[in-house]
Amino acid sequence: MGCGQSTDSAFSNRGSISSLKPYPQQSSVEDSGAAHGNGVGPEPVVDRETVEEYLQTEREIGEARRADPQVLSQLEMKTEALDKMTQKVERLEREYGDLQALAKDGDQSDTKKALVAIKRGARASTAEEERVAGCNNKEIAKQARDEAVRQKENIQKEVDQLQSKAARLQNLYTKQDALLSKIFGGEYGSDLENKLEEELDALEAQKARIMEANFKWRQAQMMMEFACRQLAVAVQKWQDLPDIPDTSLEVRYTMAAEARNNLVAASQNIEGAHRYLSNVEFPYCNPDEVDTLNKATSYVFTDMQSEERHSHAGQCYEITHKRAAALLQWFDQVLTTTIMEDLAQVNKRVKETSLALRQERIRLIKLKAKEIWGADVDVDIDAGVSADDEDLNAMMMQGVSDSEVAKTEETADGPRAKTPPPLTAEEMAPMPSNEAIFGLSYEQFKEDLDNMREQHETEVDHFMRGQERQADKIRGDLEAKLNARRRNRAMRNLEERQKRELAAGAAVS
């Protein structure tokens, strides 16, 4: 019937946003009819104005979907990203505050001042190393905090824009269902329409699952692209550092600071990729490797003071760069060989089913109009724009933005820099499972919901039987008391009657 079925479905792509209100049509259809149980529904209304309004609504839905494909699911994912970034900002604020509190006697010196106390070639004392590292860590924490605040503000802007677009599309879907309910009297127009709508709901759910995976992997891919560029810059700066004369302390410090800033940004971007793909086990740049990079970054300004430490730190940065490039190549392969192919297939099926559903609805509208008016009605089936006539390439990049990417001046607009040689097919880590890529499948999700429903029904049934047993016991106890009371009353009545009879007999005698 199109009057609420697709939006009420637990797996419908339309109703996936928990922050939006439920569709009014869901309750109105049930109330109006009621109907579904007793065959009494509202009287169908098929006039030219209603048909034209329905076709106009389809056009508006198509235009909205083409302008912002998957806007509802994008809002959900961006809202989740905003929540995570808010938590990250709060954590970084605490960490930065703790580091500031550790400064002794109000020492506000920066890394450059701390470096002046260490002579080139002389082995720094542990206290001197820790002072430089402490100043550096405080600057790193501030850089990370400021970057996270900037990203949170960017995500908030995206969420605000998506909320407006999603609300409009949600309202159009509600209007579409209300018009179909009006045209078909709250019932399905045909078994075929019912079947096609259920099939479209299933396909839309599958497409939404793939689109969600596509968004997360492409967002992680973008972050790794920036991380690779930043690591390339950091490695180059670090390699050039020994060529700077010891007397040029300002230049040496600036170059080391640039290397550090790129290392910090690269680490943030790798962590961002982990955040988006939290259910995926990374074959390269796992959390332990990132932690090692962060520790090495803490001692950048100490490591620059000796050839041995400089060389050791440089090896760490180079290895991380190579493994980051391998991870980016791994992401590219997952997107190309799995996600893009699956998305193309499901999108084709969604288009075909959506068109078939439109054709069936228009056919039913024509039949209903002829039934009421007694004449054929000319309805142009192409008057509405298909809601699923979306450009695949544009769809694949939907929602992906650099709003959550940590940037540095050297990598803002440059191409991917000095990427290490790609791995061969034999060297590449195995591809992740479909469950790791997409999460629970639609079929698994539906099975889980069915199991939850069955478990709920079993628990309710068990509870009701327990209540009945308790009620039976209470009724039984009460019945026993009543029976005992009746027997006692009967015995007393019998005794009274016997006494009266004995008294009457004694009086006669």
> For the chain, which residues make up each domain, given as ranges?
5-439, 440-509
Which tokens belong to 99? 């580091």
Q: What is the pTM of this model?
A: 0.68
Indicate the length of the chain as a whole number. 509
Where helices occur in 241-306 by DSSP H, the ranges are: 249-276, 287-298, 300-303
The four Cα atoms 234, 236, 242, 243 give a dihedral, to 10 degrees, of: -140
Give residue 222's pLDDT. Answer: 94
Residue 306: which of 114, 132, 127, 118 has the closest Cα? 118
Asked if 214 contacts 341 with a C-beta cutoff of 8 angstroms, the reply is: no
- pLDDT for the residue numbered 21: 29
What's the confidence (pLDDT) of residue 78? 86
Residue 152, amino acid = K
Mean pLDDT by 10 residues, the chain (509 residues): 37 32 32 39 69 82 76 83 90 87 62 66 65 84 90 90 88 87 73 86 85 91 94 93 85 91 95 92 95 93 88 94 96 91 87 87 79 65 47 73 83 54 88 82 57 57 66 68 68 67 59
DSSP string, 118-183: S-TTSPPPHHHHHHHHHHHHHHHHHHHHHHHHHHHHHHHHHHHHHHHHHHHHHHHHHHHHHHHHHH
